[in-house]
């Protein structure tokens, strides 16, 4: 009976004290994550650059499907150190864009290969305007879609207890 008398009164629920301005332990703030769930920006940058290096080296070898595997690996490994989607999605996007963008840049501008002409042909065959920029943009978009699909698949396969 004592529990029935507490229903509807301030402080009788877990969130009642936190929302009640000063009665809660956090001064009225509600937090849905632990303070330890953040990640160091340096560690994030190292992971992005390491993934970009792997994608760039394998892109030079002709392994075009590696962005999917990189997204899959990030989605399977990231929940263990406490990364959330707001950490993993930008990491996967960054490593994919850097990993594919640098080899394309290297071929066209540094080595002087006719990558622009090839990009124009690819864009025209894909039904896009026949410009080198659209061909390169289309190539980067395909790589990003692969990586995001891999991340989505890994998050779907990961049990909910590990991702929180």
Model pLDDT for residues 142-152, shown as the tens digit of each residue:
999 999 999 99
Q: Are residues 28 and 47 in the same domain?
A: no
HSE-CB of 39 using CA atoms within 13 angstroms = 20
Residue ranges making up the domain that contains 41:
34-163
Task: Provide the pLDDT for residue 36.
Answer: 54
Rounded Cα distance between 25 and 27, Å, is 6
Mean pLDDT, the chain, rounded, equals 79
Q: Which of 45, 42, 37, 55 is nearest to 150 (CA)?
A: 55
Q: Which two tokens stand for residue 57?
A: 């080296």
Q: Are residues 150 and 125 in the same domain?
A: yes
Sign of CA dihedral 98, 104, 108, 113: positive
How many structural domains are present in the chain? 2
Q: Are residues 28 and 38 in the same domain?
A: no
Q: Where does residue 82 fall: left (phi above 0), alpha (psi -120 to 50 degrees), or beta otherwise?
A: left
Q: Are residues 63 and 131 in the same domain?
A: yes
Strand spans (E) along 31-133: none
Q: Are residues 16 and 81 in the same domain?
A: no
**CA dist 164 to 6, 30, 37, 122, 156, Å?**
32, 17, 9, 42, 13
Q: Are residues 65 and 15 in the same domain?
A: no
Q: Are residues 143 and 113 in the same domain?
A: yes
The average pLDDT across 10-35 equals 50
Q: Are residues 65 and 103 in the same domain?
A: yes
**CA dist 155 to 76, 77, 110, 145, Å?**
7, 10, 38, 15
Q: Are residues 24 and 51 in the same domain?
A: no
Most confident of 14-18, 115-119, 143-147: 143-147
């Amino acid at each position: 009976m004592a529990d029935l008398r507490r229903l509807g009164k301030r402080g009788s629920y877990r969130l009642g004290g936190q929302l009640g301005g000063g009665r809660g332990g956090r001064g009225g703030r509600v937090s849905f994550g632990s303070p330890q769930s953040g990640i160091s920006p340096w560690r994030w940058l190292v992971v992005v650059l390491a993934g970009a290096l792997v994608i760039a080296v394998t892109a030079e070898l002709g392994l075009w499907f590696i962005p999917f595997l990189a997204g899959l690996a990030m989605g399977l490994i990231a929940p263990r150190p406490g990364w959330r989607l707001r950490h993993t999605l930008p990491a996967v996007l960054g490593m994919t864009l850097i990993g594919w963008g640098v080899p394309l840049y290297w071929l066209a501008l540094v080595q002087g290969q006719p990558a622009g002409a090839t990009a124009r042909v690819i864009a025209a065959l894909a039904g896009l305007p026949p410009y080198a920029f659209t061909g390169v943009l289309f190539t980067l978009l395909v790589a990003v879609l692969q990586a995001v699909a891999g991340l989505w698949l890994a998050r779907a396969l990961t049990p909910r207890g590990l991702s929180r």
